[in-house]
Amino acid sequence: MSAARELARTPATEKAAGDSLRRFTREPYYLPAADEVAIFEHAHANRLAVMLKGPTGCGKTRFVEHMAWRLGRPLMTVACHDDLTASDLVGRFLVTGEATVWQDGPLTRAVRHGAICYLDELVEARQDTTVVIHPLADHRRILPIDKTGELIDAADGFQLVISYNPSYQHALKDLKPSTRQRFISLEFGFLDAAQEARIVAHEGGVDRADAGALVALAHRLRALQDRGLAEVPSTRLLVAAAQLIASGVGRRRASDVAVVTPLCDEPTLLAAMRDLVDATFA
Ligand SMILES: Nc1ncnc2c1ncn2[C@@H]1O[C@H](COP(=O)(O)OP(=O)(O)OP(=O)(O)O)[C@@H](O)[C@H]1O
Ligand SMILES: [Mg+2]
């Protein structure tokens, strides 16, 4: 990007890239699936970068928030998109009145503050972002800022975490092996029925019977993947249905608007899913 175009970008763009460090004073609720909490702690202690792989709505973001709280680190989250450049992460010169001032981007702020930096769906970002990620994700732990000539050593506690949804990827958009091999990887999926019901009850404010029924519905719907359902319902959707039920919406209606309708537009599949709702809440 040309310097002129870059200077013209407003601070609002910075906000869109996400630039605030969050500090957790209360524990974000997270129910582990296996040993991921311990593995992450070991990775943190050994200054290893971590990749979280898994479908949407299965707890990746919540896990990072929980780990930031557990490790007592601030958290910087950046939602990556296909227009996100290295400058969006590192920072840029901004014109404020007469002066031109350097403004750190979210990655630089995380590096200076020893924060956990969570790059959500990094694969979406422009290729030039790998240039700044690589030296931070390996033993060097440095961030070179070409535009200012600075070379920053990451503060203690800094840790790079990226997420990756394998089902969205196709041949043209994949992480390069040289990127992948800088991260240890934790796989996320949906928890077993009893555990998922605990989450739905906790997060959605419903009793175990309703939570169990929503999870049973999810299992029936997830089985439709073989019949062409591209995205299966996530724990997030079950929590949304539970919240509607807890606030007085009928069980079938809540399941329809929160779980079934978001999933697809195809009339035959929608009808098949609504039959499963009726069977679940008969
Ligand atoms: N293991 C878990 N413990 C506690 N809550 C969970 C867990 N898994 C899922 N949830 C619930 O599901 C919701 C969605 O999870 P989260 O936002 O972490 O998904 P995600 O994997 O980051 O999805 P995306 O890829 O779309 O960003 C959370 O807000 C939380 O209510
Ligand atoms: Mg997330």
Indicate the pLDDT class of residue 10, thresholds 50, 70 and 90: very low
Tell whether the model's pLDDT for residue 225 goes beyond 50: yes
Q: Is the CB of 53 under 6 A from ligand 1?
A: no
Q: Cβ distance 99 to 140 under 8 Å?
A: no
270 is written with which tokens?
A: 């929608």
Hey, which of 186, 236, 238, 243 would you mutate to test ligand 1's pocket, going by the most ligand atoms within 8 Å of its Cβ?
236
**What is the edge-to-edge ordering of all strands in the sheet holding 159-164?**
21-22, 75-79, 116-120, 159-164, 49-53, 183-187
Q: Residues within 5 Å of ion ligand 2 by Cβ?
A: 60-61
Indicate the pLDDT class of residue 3, thresholds 50, 70 and 90: very low
Give, using CA atoms, the residue closest to atom 13 of ligand 1: 236
Q: How far apart are CA 76 and CA 98, in angstroms?
A: 31
Cβ-based neighbour number of residue 157 at 10 Å: 16
Tell whether the model's pLDDT for residue 169 goes beyond 70: no
Tell whether the model's pLDDT for residue 218 goes beyond 90: yes
Give the DSSP H or E segment for 94. strand 91-96
Rounded to an integer, the average pLDDT of 27-40 is 98
CA nearest 58: which of 241, 234, 243? 234
Cα of 265 vs centre of ligand 2, distance in Å, is 24
Cβ partners under 8 Å of residue 26, min gap 6 = 69
Tell whether the model's pLDDT for residue 7 goes beyond 50: no
Rounded to an integer, the average pLDDT of 268-282 is 94
Share of the chain above pLDDT 70, in %: 91
88 is written with which tokens?
A: 């969006």
Indicate the pLDDT class of residue 175, thresholds 50, 70 and 90: confident
What is the tens place of the pLDDT at every residue in 239-264?
Answer: 999 999 999 999 999 999 999 999 99
Closest-approaching ligand to the CA atom of 56: 1
CA nearest 133: which of 165, 101, 103, 158? 158
pLDDT score at 229 = 85
Cβ partners under 8 Å of residue 131, min gap 6 = 86
Rounded to an integer, the average pLDDT of 184-189 is 96
Rounded to an integer, the average pLDDT of 226-237 is 90
Cα of 183 vs centre of ligand 2, distance in Å, is 18
CA nearest 191: which of 51, 36, 44? 36
pLDDT score at 38 = 98
Tell whether the model's pLDDT for residue 11 goes beyond 70: no
Give, using CA atoms, the residue closest to atom 27 of ligand 1: 56
Cα of 31 vs centre of ligand 1, distance in Å, is 10
pLDDT score at 242 = 98
Q: Is the CB of 220 under 6 A from ligand 1?
A: no
Cβ partners under 8 Å of residue 219, min gap 6 = 193
Q: Is the CB of 236 under 6 A from ligand 1?
A: yes
